[in-house]
Amino acid sequence: MKGKTKHISEIRVRYGETDRMGFCYYGNYAQFLEVARVELLRSQGVSYKELEDAGILLPVRNFSIKYIAPAKYDDLLFIETEIVKINGSRIEFIYEIRNQKKLLIATANTELVFIHSDTMKPTHVPTEILEFHETEIK
């Protein structure tokens, strides 16, 4: 993946996350991506909890995933996450998920909207996120 603001998270597929075929159930990937984007922000000094405590929420507006190969029980997944766009009150992430053999498992993207918890209306992206993202772009 190209770009600057990226992070790699590791997640091991647990037995309870697999289906009868031994493959990671497709519905688990949304949670894996959530972990990955939270860790990307944390790696840049931004805490989801602190955002929420400040009244900023981040609901998902759009989620898309392309499954390429199955992840299986006990696979170690490496999720490379990148911020590709910040526009107004929106932030877009892209992801590549690979297993321990570097096999591409899936690609995905999510778009989230910053909203204020009091009004439940869109609000501007917090300054600290704009600052680290703009610093990475230069």
* Residues belonging to the active site: 19
Cβ atoms of residues 99 and 77 within 8 Å: yes
3-state helix, strand, coil in the chain (%, to 5): 30, 40, 30
How far, in Å, CA of 12 to CA of 94, rounded? 20
How far, in Å, CA of 1 to CA of 61, rounded? 22
